[in-house]
Amino acid sequence: MVKDDLDTDAEIDVIGKLAEDAGALLPALRDPETDSEPRLQDVDHWGRSEHMREFIRRAYDPVYRYWFRAELDGLENVPRDGGALLVANHAGSVPSDAPVIMHGIEEELGRPLYGLAEHLFRTIPVIGTLWARGGGVAAHPDNAHRLLHDEGQLALVFPEGAKGPGKTYAERYRLRRFGRGGFIEVAMRAGVPVVPIAVMGAEESMPNLTTIPGLAKAFGLPYVPITPQMLAAPFFGPLAPVATMLYLPAKFRVKFLPPVHFPDKPNMPRYSKARIMEYADLVRDMIQAELFEMLRARRSVWFG
Amino acid sequence: MKRILITGLATYWGGRLAQVLEEQPAVDLIVGVDRHAPTVELDRTEFVRVREDYGALRRIVEAAEIDTILHTHLLVDSTAASSRQVHELNVIGTMNLLAAAATTDSPVRRLIVKSSTLVYGAGRGDPQIFRETARRSNSPRTQVERSLLEVEDYVRDFAEDNPHVSVTLLRVANVIAPDFDTPMLNALHMPAVPAVFGFDPLVQFVHVEDCVSALAYAVENDLPGIFNVAADGVIPWSEVRGIIGKPAMWLPPLGTQAAAGMLRRSHIVDLPDEFLSLLRFGRGVDNVRLKQVGFRYRYSTVGCLYDFAEGLRLRRVIGAAEQPTYEYQEDLEQFLHRHTVS
Residue in B124, B198, B297 nearest the CB of A34: B297
pLDDT value at A156 more than 70 = yes
| A253–chain B nearest CA distance, Å | 33
Predicted confidence at residue B3, as pLDDT, reads 94
Q: Is the pLDDT of residue A24 over 70?
A: no
Tell me, yes or no, if A85 comes closer than 8 A to chain B by beta carbon. Answer: no
3-state SS of A149-213 is: HHCCCEEEECCCCCHHHHCCHHHCCCCCCCCCCHHHHHHHHHCCCEEEEEEECHHHHCCCCEECH
| Residue A115: per-residue pLDDT | 95
pLDDT tier at A267, thresholds 50, 70, 90:
very high
Neighbouring C-beta atoms of residue B6, cutoff 10 Å: 28
Query: Residue B291 to residues A22, A31, B216, B224, B341: CA-CA distances in angstroms?
Result: 11, 10, 14, 14, 39
d(CA B30, CA B295): 23
Q: Which of B129, B131, B292 sits opposite A45 (nearest CB)?
A: B129
DSSP letters along A116-142, please? Answer: EE-GGGGGSTTHHHHHHHTTEEE--HH
For A27, nearest residue in chain B (alpha carbons): B288
Torsion of CA A221, A226, A232, A234, to 10 degrees: 50
Between CA A280 and CA B303 the distance in angstroms is 45
CB A24 to CB B306 under 8 A?
no
Compare B315 and B321 and report the one with higher pLDDT: B315
What's the pLDDT at B315?
85
Q: Please answer whether residues A176 and A164 qualify as being in contact, where contact means their C-beta atoms are separated by less than 8 angstroms.
A: yes
B302 contacts in A (CB within 8 Å)?
35, 37-39
pLDDT of residue A179: 87
Residue type, A48: R
Residue A204 in this model has a pLDDT that exceeds 90: yes
Check residue B298 and give its pLDDT: 95
Whole-model pTM: value is 0.87
Residues of B in contact with A137 (CB under 8 A): 128
Does residue B70 contact residue B9 with C-beta atoms inside 8 Å?
no
Angle CA A245–A249–A252, to nearest 5: 110
Cβ-contact A85, A192 below 8 angstroms: yes
**Structure confidence at residue B21 (pLDDT):** 93
Average pLDDT, chain B: 91
CB contacts, 8 Å: A34 with chain B: 231-232, 297-300, 303
Strand pairing of A84-88 and A194-200?
A: parallel
Which candidate in A18, A36, A122 is best for mutational testing of the B interface (most B CBs within 10 A)? A122
Q: How far is CA B198 from CA A38, A233, B271, B276, in A?
A: 25, 27, 18, 13
pLDDT at residue A201 tops 50? yes
ipTM, interface predicted TM-score of the complex: 0.88
Q: What is the pLDDT of residue B331?
A: 80
Which residue of chain A has the CA closest to B305?
A37
Count structural domains, chain B.
Answer: 1
**A82 with A266: CB under 8 angstroms?**
no
Q: Say which of A46, A122, A127 has its CB closest to residue B124.
A: A122
Are A29 and B234 an interchain contact pair (Cβ–Cβ within 8 Å)? yes
CATH number of residue B222's parent domain = 3.40.50.720
User: b vs e for A64-86, b when ≥16 Cβ sit within 10 Å of the residue's Cβ?
Assistant: beebbbbebebeebbbeeebbbb
CB A157 within 8 A of CB A97: no
Taking CA atoms, what residue in B is nearest to A36?
A: B303
Per-position b or e across B8-17, b if 16+ CB within 10 A of its CB = bbbbbbbbbb
The SS3 call for residue B57 is: helix
Cα(B182)–Cα(B283) distance, integer angstroms: 16
Share of chain A above pLDDT 90, in %: 75
Does the distance separating the beta carbons of B134 and A122 come in below 8 Å? no
| Structural domain boundaries, residue B99 | 2-339
The interface residues of chain A toward chain B in range 152-211, judged by CB-CB distance below 8 A, are: none
Chain B positions touching chain A (beta carbons under 8 Å)? 124-131, 134, 196-200, 202, 231-236, 238-239, 242-243, 253, 281, 284, 286-288, 291-292, 294, 297-300, 302-303, 306
Q: Where are the alpha helices (DSSP H) in B181-323?
A: 183-189, 208-220, 237-244, 256-265, 273-281, 288-292, 301-318
State the nearest Cα–Cα gap between A302 and chain B, in angstroms.
37
Q: How many CB atoms lie within 10 A of CB B255?
A: 11
Q: Looking at beta carbons, which residues of chain B come within 8 Å of A139?
A: none
Instruction: Test B231 with A123 for CB contact under 8 angstroms.
Output: no
Distance from C-alpha of A107 to C-alpha of A61, rounded to nearest angstrom: 9
Residue A26 touches partner B, C-beta closer than 8 Å: yes
* CA-based nearest distance B314→chain A, Å: 19
Q: Residue-wise over B125-144: b if at least 16 C-beta within 10 A, else e?
A: ebbbbbbbebebbeebebbb
User: In sequence order, what are the beta bridge partners of B47?
Assistant: B32
- Better pLDDT: B329 or A197: A197
pLDDT of residue A11: 41
Nearest to A45 by CA among A22, A29, A26, A56: A29
What are the pLDDT digits (tens) for B123-146?
A: 999 999 999 999 888 889 889 999
What is the number of other CB atoms lying within 10 angstroms of the CB of residue A154? Answer: 25
Tell me the pLDDT tens digit for each residue of B25-62.
999 999 999 988 888 888 889 999 988 778 788 889 99
Nearest neighbour of B292 by CB, restricted to A24, A140, A143: A24
Round to whole Å and give the CA distance between B306 and A37: 8
Phi-psi region of A126 (alpha: psi -120 to 50; beta: other; left: phi over 0): left
- Tell me the pLDDT tens digit for each residue of A238-253: 999 889 989 999 999 9
